[in-house]
Amino acid sequence: MTPDQYCQDKTAKSGSSFYYSFLFLPEQKRKAVMALYAFCREVDDVVDEIREEQVARVKLRWWRDEIHRLYHGEAQHPVTLALKPQLEHFNLDEKYFHDIIDGMQMDLDFNHYRSFEDLATYCYRAASAVGLLTVEIFGYQNKQTLRYAHDLGMAFQLTNILRDVREDARRQRVYIPEDECRKFNVSAEDFLKPETPDNVKGLFKFQADRARKFYLQALQVLPDEDRYNQRSGIIMKSVYESLLDEIELDGFRVLEHQIKLTPLRKIWLAWTTARKEKKRYKKLSHNHD
């Protein structure tokens, strides 16, 4: 198995919505973004699947060293070997890879967040830093597109937090800010109960509304000239926002059962969004001629 095949396999097996958005990219960009996503899966698996905290810390340190080796031409892992040729094609700042690892490290250092301000640091590292790398791969002309990547990453992470509240609580992790839990009279123990009383529903709606604000902000700041290049992000947005819609339509009962979209629904959303963006781009190009 080649490094590229390893990354494609890792990305496909994750069942993530991101995989469907990558299918519409040209080969070079698709390889680069799959290698980046495979890296994210590798470091995420360290904190989610390794039970021994000390072992997880050692493994994250290894990944920090491996990123350093990658940027000095000494990559060893299939993921970094797949990333190595992409450094020549795309301006991938080493700092963002370390930011992502810092986000995973926070999962070992903290299991709750006092305020949204604290949580925002985590969301930036776990998701916005990934977004800032992907915009380099997708391509952009306007610096404003970096703001779009940041806000879209925040929205994705906040959606994931809401979707995974129950699973995270079972791992003794709570990503909903403590001061907001107090405001709605919800305790961390409530996230382990399979019920959704009105106060919990209110808290979850508050989280969903914040995620929606970030989706809206992201699209508002995305410049027209970069929109078509960034269509993979817009595809992801349509999938993630549909998930948020499903959670809301279901009455925010994420503690009672897992809410997810079927692969067929994801493919349909990806295809229809890609088609819509292509039409929009053609119309814009025609108007400029």
Tell whether the model's pLDDT for residue 289 goes beyond 60.
Answer: no
Count of Cβ atoms closer than 10 Å to residue 200 Cβ: 22
What CA–CA distance (Å, rounded) separates 258 from 245?
Answer: 14
Find out whether 35 and 83 touch, Cβ atoms under 8 Å. Answer: yes
pLDDT digits (tens, 9 = 90+) for 82-126: 999 999 999 999 999 999 999 999 999 999 999 999 999 999 999
pLDDT digits (tens, 9 = 90+) for 240-268: 999 999 999 999 999 999 999 988 898 89
The b-or-e profile of 103-141 (16+ CB within 10 A means b, else e) is: bbbbbeeeeebeeeeebbebbbbbbbbbbbbbbbbbebe
The b-or-e profile of 257-278 (16+ CB within 10 A means b, else e) is: eebebeeebbeebbeebbeebe
Nearest to 65 by CA among 31, 25, 101: 101
pLDDT at 25 (0 to 100): 85
pLDDT digits (tens, 9 = 90+) for 31-76: 999 999 999 999 999 988 888 989 999 999 999 999 999 999 999 9
Whole-prediction pTM = 0.93
Find out whether 152 and 234 touch, Cβ atoms under 8 Å. Answer: no
pLDDT digits (tens, 9 = 90+) for 162-200: 999 999 999 999 999 999 999 999 999 999 999 999 999
Domains defined along the chain, listed by start? 1-109 (1.10.600.10), 112-289 (1.10.600.10)
